[in-house]
Structure 1
């Protein structure tokens, strides 16, 4: 029997969910302190939630103004997240890839709660430090109702800015910050934007299961709001994978050092699911470190305590990637830039095409938008200089393609850590067996994943067999047809000879014509019979070759299925322990 990736992932997911259920049951039987019990239950619920939905949470973390939002925008290919000169992000925002989504869809289940908070601030006559902010305008207009659902990007930007400002104000002014921090426990609690990521839209998700989600996080180093560090720390623990954004212009800063320390602390849960983007690489000059030097510095100096492959470190310019990508998309869909209606991001792009600020009165600068080929050339050059292609084509694509398996493997790592850190003292007798159970399941999932890699080679072997069969069968059929045509020609010549003899032997005209007619009819009938025999012969030849082909392919697929059964699925039955449960994967395929 053939095994497909969907079935394997589903079986692995179900096995993991059963482990989660048993761990929850065990936690009820032991004497955890109330605080520890609450932490354990929340952590277990978060793992269960992401496993059920197969949500691969790739959290983008880094210090304040490192360019996290800009990098996400460049991946999406649009200004999906708002930005401003002052720090804005105080609350993680989830951005979910949907290849079939043509626009943007925003959802926030706690819109009513934040509407109430906004109304309370209005009643207290709170004055925001930024008079032009969306928050200030809402208070002035007494428009205090926030939306649970939006599909306009400008409205989404406004609401995200307001929500983040409400968080900042309440935390900074000690207006029940605990209520905010406790509101956001599960993935679905956070503001979520669903859209198509332009950078991976052409990719097919192998297995067609799982959700790929990027998460924008606040800068953990914001001195005025130390509580944001707690938000980031919790988000890291919720994540399936991490994308650490470093600032090339300030790699050795104390703020970066604190973030790196946190990553080192959590790194064992992520292994090869940790990606590092060194942003603002476009700021380098001749005296600065080049690409290879930067990669080695990050690996050997900044993150020396982590087993990190150089292939997972990418110097990039998120801003250049966003501006170049946006410009190419615009030029392809809308045509050239129009001077009268230039948008802010278009002016930013044009500034990058000159040595200084773009000047619409300068003839050379004006040529940049008047000539669409020239604009396109600059856009491609800017996009290439961003070095974003390497990052997307390797790290991001790899993360996306492994959405389902990596979500499960990340969940297993978290469960292993929960067992180790929270249940160790109370489950001392069963800990070794429990950890073995989870470790075996992790090994099994990896084995299954390795077996899946062989699916591609299996497909190639079968395709080769089909091509060989097509060529061989056609050669056999052609040889058979040529042989039968030769015999048919001989038969026709014999019949024609008999017809001539019959015509010459008869002296009377009528008798000659009659015998000639009969000879022709006999010839036609003979040809029809022969052609029918040829058709039957062809069918027999093809059926014989098909039988051989099917037998050959069955042998190959049976061998492959046997390998999967032996190397990957054997032992998928979780051993019976004090935990008292068993998973039989054979019932699931």
Structure 2
């Protein structure tokens, strides 16, 4: 490779790195073959395997792009258009409730849905809980009341109701589900289950239990306009995330989606061109605010879909950009190049036909009507005469129409620019990491070969003394490791500091009954609808949403409701407020803890290096070699079980007798003095009515607060255990790993010198041949080291 001809773009740079890694792997294989007669050959085989693994990482680089739609804007159609097939189910009702990863792999011809054991376990629990709930509601004859506005869930309800004991749907039995139809059914079931749980049992929150998300691996349309396979580096990963308006009243999605958004290099916000108006602007701003707070606007891109419905007098492209900037606040300027106008429907029809063509070995001179995907494409490109025109056109001619339609859809520009950004964000770190592996192994080979070649010519006594010196260095290194108490000191300080933070968390996040009646707490809640100035507290707001009458001035701890549905709705909404408030505190503390540990680990790295590096430096001075090793300690991660898990809270059913007052009753009575008993006299009297027995339902705010605070205590204990585990195990393990690297450095050189002692026992002719082999390796290694350094410099410029 000529390093003067390095390609300037990220795709070319990736290919340059792949070429270098391939050459380095071959060189390691040659070194292994050359030195196969001694003990060092196996070591160089390990080096070669490391390089080959790095090649795979660079080739299979994941480019993560999250797609979010704050309105019903054709999100599924956009993802299906990228794939080239109707992979994701879509309908008028809100569909997505859990994030789903779609991984594009060019070698696949059939999609595969992967549901891990953890995911299947969570959903099995959902089915069991729902079956019990549905049976209970059917007995109480209140099921229709709860689910009447969700007709698409009726079939699922009957399916769950009719399951026999211990019976579960077949798709939960296997980790992999193949085929588009089977995947569509499984995804629809998963999303509908989450939505049904939120309706029937708001307190049961399976989303918070999920640590992983479903993954779909699928092929995609790779045919470019000239009919060739498009160049593709890495695997594009699309994350289909629930839109803020798809959550439903009782779904708490923000903490589930947050992790996926943080891992994505680009976030796409999808808008519907036909709905862009001032009313929509307020809704969109409110719904995407958490995304902007989390990710900022730097890597936020806006897709305006359905622009094929633009008519005279509608917004022009420039006005759309101004609207996105001024009204939606989604871009950093009105001249942004991060707003794309597209027609997902047109792109889908084009790519579906092209993917169909890609997967078939077919003569393009045949009539296009023989291909199933030709009908929808013909409808788009031929208009009202599509049926007649389709009978006349060939596959080749329709392919040209498909490419032209795809270009007009805006998808080509959108995809090329977005994927370029993904590559620019994700690729440099991966490329640099792979180059570091290659560089370190090249340096090791060069230094070891140089030392061994030089040592052959030294006298035996000098070699013996150097081996003894290196073994003494190893002992000093081990002694340093034993004496070094910094880990324990830092751990003790950290535990003390973190305990204080967790104590403060308990005080700040503790839920009290008064908070539900606090105007300040209500104003801080961002889940409520804005603009309700008359409402002063959380209880009033929740009561208004469900049409219940509650006197907030009395600040009762026991609230009464006319129906169980209103009572359970109140519980669900009140829990939503409390969970958001408490989990917000937990999230802030997690981030604070990570910053503290990050700072402490840097202090530890400095301390360890100050103690250990002098030993290495002395050895380097003796051997006149170079060596460098970085201390790597990763940040601690907190498992998802630190989210609040609340037990089921149920409204209490009670009855009371209501005084119905008195009725006036007429009666007759005969008297001797009234017509001599012949004609009865009329009288009236008050008779008490029977008391009416009325059912009502009560909710205890005291029980809800107790649940929150118990759950908070559990979450804090879990966080404390995670931190302690990290400090006890992971933190210490990384220190041990650092010393093992230093140990390996000195041990390698000692072993090289010992091998040189064996080399001296070879005949003079054999020594000469070996020396020539060793000397021939060094120039090749130097060339690859230089290439690696130049590529690293380029990548460093990209990362800045």
| Offset, 1:97 | 1.7
Correspondence for 2:310 = 284
Query: CA–CA distance in 2 between the matches of 1:257 and 1:102?
Result: 40
Unmatched runs of 5 consecutive residues or more in structure 2? 4-12, 22-56, 136-142, 224-228, 433-586, 607-629, 631-778
Q: Residues 8 and 353 from structure 1, CA distance in 2 versus in 1: closer, same or farther, beyond 3 angstroms? A: closer
Q: Residues 274 and 165 from structure 1, CA distance in 2 versus in 1: closer, same or farther, beyond 3 angstroms? A: same
Q: 1:213 aligns with which of 237, 253, 277?
A: 237
Matched, 1:164 2:188: no
| Offset, 1:220 | 0.6
Higher relative contact order (CA 8 A, sep 6+): 1
Q: Residues 233 and 560 from structure 1, CA distance in 2 versus in 1: closer, same or farther, beyond 3 angstroms? A: closer
Asked if 2 retains the 8 angstrom alpha-carbon contact of 1:264 and 1:305, the reply is no
Matched, 1:227 2:252: yes
Correspondence for 2:532 = none
Partner SS, residue 340 of structure 2: strand
Correspondence for 2:284 = 256
Q: 1:275 aligns with which of 279, 292, 301?
A: 301
Query: CA–CA distance in 2 between the matches of 1:62 and 1:237?
Result: 17
| Offset, 1:215 | 0.7
CA RMSD of aligned residues (A): 4.8
| Offset, 1:104 | 0.9
Correspondence for 2:83 = 76
Correspondence for 2:54 = none
| Offset, 1:103 | 1.3
TM-score with structure 2 length normalisation? 0.42
Q: Residues 174 and 138 from structure 1, CA distance in 2 versus in 1: closer, same or farther, beyond 3 angstroms? A: closer
Unmatched runs of 5 consecutive residues or more in structure 1? 10-49, 359-363, 410-416, 442-551, 573-589
Matched, 1:386 2:386: no
Partner SS, residue 94 of structure 1: strand
Query: CA–CA distance in 1 between the matches of 2:218 and 2:321?
Result: 32
Matched, 1:245 2:270: yes
Asked if 1 retains the 8 angstrom alpha-carbon contact of 2:82 and 2:351, the reply is no
Query: CA–CA distance in 2 between the matches of 1:376 and 1:251?
Result: 34
For 1:355-374, list aligned pairs within 5 A. 364-373=385-394
Correspondence for 1:395 = 418
| Offset, 1:164 | 0.3
Partner SS, residue 286 of structure 2: helix
Correspondence for 2:156 = 135
Deviations 1:405-443 (A, max 9, x none): 36799xxxxxxx999951489579869989x9xxxx9xx
Q: 1:101 aligns with which of 84, 95, 108?
A: 108
Query: CA–CA distance in 2 between the matches of 1:318 and 1:158?
Result: 23
Query: CA–CA distance in 2 between the matches of 1:159 and 1:558?
Result: 51
Partner SS, residue 253 of structure 2: helix
| Offset, 1:117 | 2.3
Asked if 2 retains the 8 angstrom alpha-carbon contact of 1:325 and 1:383, the reply is yes
Q: Residues 144 and 283 from structure 1, CA distance in 2 versus in 1: closer, same or farther, beyond 3 angstroms? A: same
| Offset, 1:240 | 3.2
Q: Residues 568 and 75 from structure 1, CA distance in 2 versus in 1: closer, same or farther, beyond 3 angstroms? A: closer
Matched, 1:315 2:336: no
Deviations 1:499-532 (A, max 9, x none): xxxxxxxxxxxxxxxxxxxxxxxxxxxxxxxxxx
More deviation in 137-146 or 390-399? 137-146
Query: CA–CA distance in 2 between the matches of 1:152 and 1:137?
Result: 26
Q: Residues 224 and 96 from structure 1, CA distance in 2 versus in 1: closer, same or farther, beyond 3 angstroms? A: same
| Offset, 1:248 | 1.6
Partner SS, residue 83 of structure 1: coil
Partner SS, residue 246 of structure 1: strand
| Offset, 1:190 | 0.9
Q: 2:217 aligns with which of 194, 201, 223?
A: 194
Q: Residues 569 and 99 from structure 1, CA distance in 2 versus in 1: closer, same or farther, beyond 3 angstroms? A: same
Matched, 1:115 2:121: no
Q: Residues 64 and 173 from structure 1, CA distance in 2 versus in 1: closer, same or farther, beyond 3 angstroms? A: farther
Q: Residues 331 and 54 from structure 1, CA distance in 2 versus in 1: closer, same or farther, beyond 3 angstroms? A: closer
Correspondence for 2:747 = none
Query: CA–CA distance in 2 between the matches of 1:392 and 1:321?
Result: 11
Q: Residues 288 and 295 from structure 1, CA distance in 2 versus in 1: closer, same or farther, beyond 3 angstroms? A: same
Deviations 1:16-43 (A, max 9, x none): xxxxxxxxxxxxxxxxxxxxxxxxxxxx
| Offset, 1:395 | 1.5
Correspondence for 2:201 = 174
Q: Residues 293 and 139 from structure 1, CA distance in 2 versus in 1: closer, same or farther, beyond 3 angstroms? A: same
Correspondence for 1:90 = 97
Partner SS, residue 370 of structure 1: helix
Deviations 1:279-332 (A, max 9, x none): 111121121233344234424553366379733321101111101221344356
Query: CA–CA distance in 1 between the matches of 2:306 and 2:258?
Result: 25
